[in-house]
Amino acid sequence: MTKSLFPFSAEHEMIQQTARDFAQKQIAPIAAEFDESGEFPFATIKKMGELGFMGIEVPEEYGGAGMDTLSYVLALEEICKVDAAHGVIMSVNNSLYAYGFIRFGTHEQKKKYLEPIASGKAIGAYSLTEPMSGSDAGTMRSRATRDGDFYILNGRKSWVTSGPVAEYIVVFMMTDPDKKQKGVSAFIVDAKTPGFIRGKKEPKLGIRASATSEIIFENCRIPVENRIGEEGDGFKIAMTVLDAGRIGIASQALGISEAAYEASLAYAREREAFGQKIGEFQGISFKLADMKTRIEASRLLIYNAAIMKENSKETGERFSINAAMAKLFASETCMFVTHAAVQIHGGMGYSKELPVERYFRDAKITEIYEGTSEIQRLVISRSELNKK
């Protein structure tokens, strides 16, 4: 456990240790191979489900581990320290999928659609983005049209994490385009429904073992009881869920940064040049100091955001700014740290013989998905400027 003033319990230490052991023993030996092949790691994800990692904050009555947000970020950090691709699959299941049900789902929806995901028997996904609607999420074109006791879904969604494999997907569509953001509604779709079509899988720079794709809806007919919240609640649901997701991605960035830093520290202690260890050169040691300091600052922002989110369960208060600051800082730190790690390792940092080049490739997406760094700056600055 990192020395910290945060109120960690024996339960926190236990889940952190369990995640660390699992990641080291089960994921570390296969991470490079799955990164290379781009195959989805079904077997290890199934085991993570058995350990309760796929629904950490989901109440036990709905198949989850019933733990708190700090437990979630501690476990996620350990998984991402070894492999960020396993990490994003875990993060999307826990945050983008499960959190929406915890906050907004009915008891029946939770029983049917949360339980299999939280217990790790099935994989969940979240689908907001479209080819022409990314950062400006309120401009989506996909339509859900009411037809008696059903909705007919039509449209094309993109960049869906776990899209090629998910059994259930939370999707956001326009029910009333004239109302813009207030005309968006949220739905849960079983991937076996006719008219649900998985599109092309994206070839990616990093997190290659996680699967990302388009999803096409062609007259996909779902019952009204699959709507989450009321008609028009969808945009706020999407944003609330993203606040939770952003803490997950910040933890992912922290895990990658730590791995890159620890590899660099070990290398700087051992590698010699010009008659001394390279760590004795100020050019390297000052880099290490900056890496360490930014990692610790990221950690503090993330744990703080996690506690704010935990408290919000009682107070209902938004934690958007805390989540945005944590994601912004941790993801930019991750780019800084992994860039420095490759440089410290020199040629070896560029080689696939070491995982450092993978950390560098995996880092970039943390500045892009679940809201780019520019969007986080927008959320933070708007929140400050509009403060009464």
Helix (H, G, I), strand (E, B) or coil at 165: coil
Phi/psi at 234 (nearest 5 deg)?
-60, -40
Site string for ligand CAA, 64-103 (x = CB under 6 A): ----------------------------x-----------
Would you mind telling me the total number of residues written for the chain in this entry? 388
Kindly state whether residue 138 participates in binding ligand CAA, applying the rule CB under 6 A.
Answer: yes
Tell whether the torsion through CA atoms of 328, 330, 333 and 337 is positive or negative: negative
Kindly state whether residue 318 participates in binding ligand CAA, applying the rule CB under 6 A.
Answer: yes
Give the integer Cα–Cα distance in Å for 335 and 344: 14
List the structure tokens of 175: 């029910």
* Distance of closest approach, residue 375 Cβ to ligand CAA, in angstroms: 5
The residue from 130, 370, 374, 384 that is catalytic is: 370
Q: Which residues contact 91 (CB under 8 A, 6 or more apart)?
A: 76, 245, 248, 249, 251, 252
Kindly state whether residue 164 participates in binding ligand CAA, applying the rule CB under 6 A.
Answer: no
Residue 318 buriedness (CB in 10 A; 0-12 / 13-18 / 19+): middle
* Distance of closest approach, residue 79 Cβ to ligand CAA, in angstroms: 16
Kindly state whether residue 242 participates in binding ligand CAA, applying the rule CB under 6 A.
Answer: yes
List the structure tokens of 267: 């290398």
* Distance of closest approach, residue 327 Cβ to ligand CAA, in angstroms: 10
Kindly state whether residue 119 participates in binding ligand CAA, applying the rule CB under 6 A.
Answer: no
Quick one: 40 or 235, whose CB is closer to ligand CAA? 235
List the structure tokens of 32: 């490079």
The single residue among 70, 98, 128, 330 that binds ligand CAA, judged by CB under 6 A, is: 128
* Distance of closest approach, residue 210 Cβ to ligand CAA, in angstroms: 9
Cα-based angle 121, 106, 230 (whole degrees, multiple of 5): 125
Partnered with residue 169 across adjacent β-strands are 125, 189
Kindly state whether residue 161 participates in binding ligand CAA, applying the rule CB under 6 A.
Answer: yes
* Distance of closest approach, residue 127 Cβ to ligand CAA, in angstroms: 7
Is residue 370 part of the annotated active site? The answer reads yes
Mutual orientation of helices 320-345 and 356-363 as an angle, nearest 10°? 150
Kindly state whether residue 166 participates in binding ligand CAA, applying the rule CB under 6 A.
Answer: no
Quick one: 20 or 141, whose CB is closer to ligand CAA? 141
* # chain residues binding ligand CAA, by CB under 6 A: 25
List the structure tokens of 28: 């570390």
For residues 27-56, which are near ligand CAA according to CB under 6 A?
none
CB count within 10 Å of CB 278 equals 20
For residues 171-210, which are near ligand CAA according to CB under 6 A?
181
CB count within 10 Å of CB 166 equals 27
For residues 217-236, which are near ligand CAA according to CB under 6 A?
235-236
- Convert 189-204 to b/e letters by CB count within 10 Å (16 or more is b): bebeeeebebeeeeeb
Stretch that binds ligand CAA, among 105-113, 302-310, 333-341, 375-383 (CB under 6 A): 375-383
Which positions touch ligand CAA (CB under 6 A)?
Answer: 92, 126, 128-129, 135, 137-138, 159-161, 181, 235-236, 239-240, 242-243, 318, 320, 369-371, 375, 378-379
Which residues does the annotation mark as catalytic?
A: 370
